[in-house]
Amino acid sequence: MARGSVRRAELDAWLASLSESDFEAELAALVEALGTVPVAMTNSADDGSPPHGLPGQGRISRRYLSELDRYPTMTRADEVAGAKRLEFALERIAAADFRSASIRAARRTEYQLAYNEFVERNLHIVVSEVYGYRTYAVPLDDLVQEGNAALMHAVEKFDWRKGVRFRTYVAWWIRQAVERHLANAKGAVRVPHHLQQKLRRLKRQGRLPGGFDQATSVADVAAAFEVDHDHAGHLVESSRASLSLEQEVDDSGDRFRDLLSEDWEPRDTDRDQNLRNRIAHLLDALDDREQKVLRLRFGLDGTRARTLEEIGSALHLSRERSRQIQQVALGKLRAHAGSTCLEDEL
């Protein structure tokens, strides 16, 4: 104190000596005792080489990763000390309300220095958490920015009294921010965040390992999400990736819209494929045996239409049982899609 300033090591020792049960009152007394004495919030010496190992670089900037190596990770004691410094600095700002503008600016600088150090020494946590989303076809640099914003918010909200490590606390903030960004960035039609979370869980459990890919039927989605076929079909349609017509397709600068013909008319093959796709979508509402009966009965696979006797022989059923399955299947289709759903294609 005789030199007219307080070093950070001295401040940390005083803050550590305050009792946790009466921390607020003792902190206020310490702030009052220091008055306008300047407090250093940064170390004069480096804490040593960083002990953490960052994951593979992927699409994250090499320069950014090399910058992170400047900041050592925080131990539990470092986290508590850093959180106390922030609380002390906020108390100093509040106590300077009626002081000069220069003193108030100095208090804000003290807080910003302590806050910046806390954030910088935990930036590697963001990289570690974000790297788990490298397969989601979103640039990792963008996800790092979202995670960093969540980290800064978590530093402001962290309460050292709870006895929880900051890494455990901030991981939830980072994941929430990243998953919300993924939900908003994927596709032209937004799928609700809770449904995307459930899809990720189903993929991890192996119930929908491919997500909403081409090999996944509407019936699979309906069973996994426990929804009806209409809702499942909407999920599949909404999850399809969309591309901008202005997006460049190669290094020459050609865009998708340059590849489209100005005068396009659907060909017979286009109509046929569209009809097959709509029929396949309708049949997803049926079970396997009902689908087989209708495909054989009406030649939906491009083969000739079979009689009920032929269907019964192929599926080891009686003629009457084949007829009953056909009637039940047609009734389901009428209830599911209406009797005129294909009239535009016929």
Confidence of residue 269 (pLDDT cuts 50, 70, 90): low
- When the pLDDT of each residue in the chain is averaged and rounded to a whole number, the result is 78
Answer yes or no: is pLDDT of 33 > 60: yes
Answer yes or no: is pLDDT of 107 > 80: yes
The residue ranges of every structural domain in the chain are 8-185, 283-337
CATH fold of the domain at 8-185: Four Helix Bundle (Hemerythrin (Met), subunit A) (1.20.120)
pLDDT score of 18: 85
pTM: 0.56
**Cβ contacts of 204 within 8 Å, gap of 6 or more:** none
Is the CATH number 1.10.10.10 carried by domain 283-337? yes
User: Which stretches of 206-306 are DSSP H helices?
Assistant: 218-225, 229-238, 268-283, 288-298
Residue 88, judged by CB atoms within 10 A of its CB (0-12, 13-18, 19+), counts as buried
